[in-house]
Amino acid sequence: MFCHLEGWSVFDSFYYSFTTSTSAGFGDLVVSRENRVLAAVFMMVGATLVLSLAANVGQWIMDTVTRRRAVRAFRRELEATVANLRALGPDTSALERRLDAIVSEGVEAAEADDLDLGIGGHR
């Protein structure tokens, strides 16, 4: 765009666009008076795009870190569960009783929550 308006080389136009949109703007290239309004619009749009890109990259990094932490926590919990299951040995009746108790407690708690909200059925 500035190649045609200002008569700059492609490199100078790209350099001006990059330094202006990243808000560095060294001042070594300056648009002429008649193109200042267009340059101001370009600066606002360019800065908005650069900030949007930075925000998206930051969000991607945060999502990646959060996901990796969740995977590590899940692996630790899974390793602990496997160790507990191995400690039970071949007799799994204790495990079955514990799982039945957990399921019963969970169902009773869920039914109690439903009844408290007035959406539960009859037992």
Which sequence spans correspond to the domains of the chain? 2-89, 92-123
Tens of pLDDT, residues 69-123: 988 888 888 888 777 777 777 777 777 777 777 777 766 665 665 555 454 444 4
Between 26 and 12, name the one with better pLDDT.
12
The CB density around residue 103, as the number of other CB atoms within 10 Å, is 10
CATH topology of domain 2-89: Helix Hairpins (1.10.287)
| pLDDT for residue 7 is more than 90 | no
Across 25-32, average pLDDT? 76
